[in-house]
C-alpha cells in the first residue's frame, strides 16, 4: 500500500512538472508552428 501511495505521489509530481514544462514551452511551440504554417501558405 505504501509503495502504491508513493508511486501515485511520484506520478502526480511528475505530471505537474510535465504540465509546467508544457505551459512554458507550449506558447513557443504554438508560435513556431503558426509562423511555419503561415510561411507555408504564403510560399505555395
Q: Using CA atoms, how far apart are residues 25 and 18, in angstroms rounded to an integer?
A: 10
DSSP conformational letter for 1: -
Burial grade of 19 (CB within 10 A; 0-12, 13-18, 19 or more): exposed
State which residues form the domain around 4.
1-44
Summarised one tens digit per residue, pLDDT across range 3-44 is 888 888 888 888 888 888 888 888 888 888 888 777 788 876
Q: Give the count of domains, the chain.
A: 1
Q: What local confidence, expressed as pLDDT, does residue 30 receive?
A: 82
pLDDT for 32 equals: 83
pLDDT at site 1: 65
Amino acid at each position: 500500500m505504501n509503495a502504491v501511495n508513493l508511486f501515485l505521489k511520484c506520478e502526480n509530481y511528475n505530471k505537474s512538472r510535465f504540465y509546467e514544462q508544457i505551459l512554458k514551452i507550449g506558447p513557443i511551440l504554438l508560435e513556431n508552428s503558426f509562423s511555419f504554417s503561415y510561411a507555408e501558405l504564403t510560399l505555395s
